Amino acid sequence: MNADARLHDLILLNADEGRRYEMGGMTAIFKADEAETDSGYAVSEWVLDAGFDGGGPHRHAANDEIFFVVEGEPDILIGETWHTVKRGAFVRIPGNIDHDFRNRTQCEARLLNVFIPGGFEKNMPAIVSWFEENQTNQQGEKSGDRPC
């Protein structure tokens, strides 16, 4: 198959473009998932407001996750240990490992996420509903306790 025949698979999105899911102090912006990648992977950007306290530890039994810090200094829980990561940091979390993320700074943080295999986006409506029903302190103090 030549390159011209594959142009219909092209995805080009500018900053902040994609399918958005608002969850209080956090926004997920999906760039590609099942339909675009034949369920091979999902790519999304996660925007954490200043002071966002996380959604709680969780795990994905059969999926690996990759995070790349685009902006800010969020904390990522891996297993039982919190790690403060800075812009440019790369984190790979194998399946079945507890993890979470939060932003204790006074500035927004952004993480690029790759979820392998794909199909994660189909969970987003339920995750948004969970945040609406269960999170009372999604944004913490809104200013965080660490400077930018």
Structural domain includes residue 125: yes
Tokens 């199909």, residue located: 119
CATH classification at residue 89: 2.60.120.10
Strand, helix or coil at 137? coil
Residue-wise pLDDT tens digits, 5-25: 666 689 999 999 999 999 989
The whole-number pLDDT of residue 6 equals 67
What backbone phi and psi angles, to 5 degrees, belong to 47?
Answer: -105, 120
Residue-wise pLDDT tens digits, 49-87: 999 998 899 999 989 999 999 999 999 999 999 999 999
Domain that holds residue 121: 3-134
Output the CA–CA distances (angstroms, integers) from residue 27 to 38, 41, 99, 143, in the order listed: 24, 19, 18, 17
The count of domains in the chain is 1
Structural domain includes residue 144: no
Task: Give this prediction's pTM.
Answer: 0.88
Structural domain includes residue 146: no
Residue-wise pLDDT tens digits, 92-126: 999 999 999 999 999 999 999 999 999 999 999 99
Cβ–Cβ under 8 Å, residues 137 and 91 = no
Residue-wise pLDDT tens digits, 19-59: 999 998 999 999 999 989 999 999 999 999 999 998 899 99
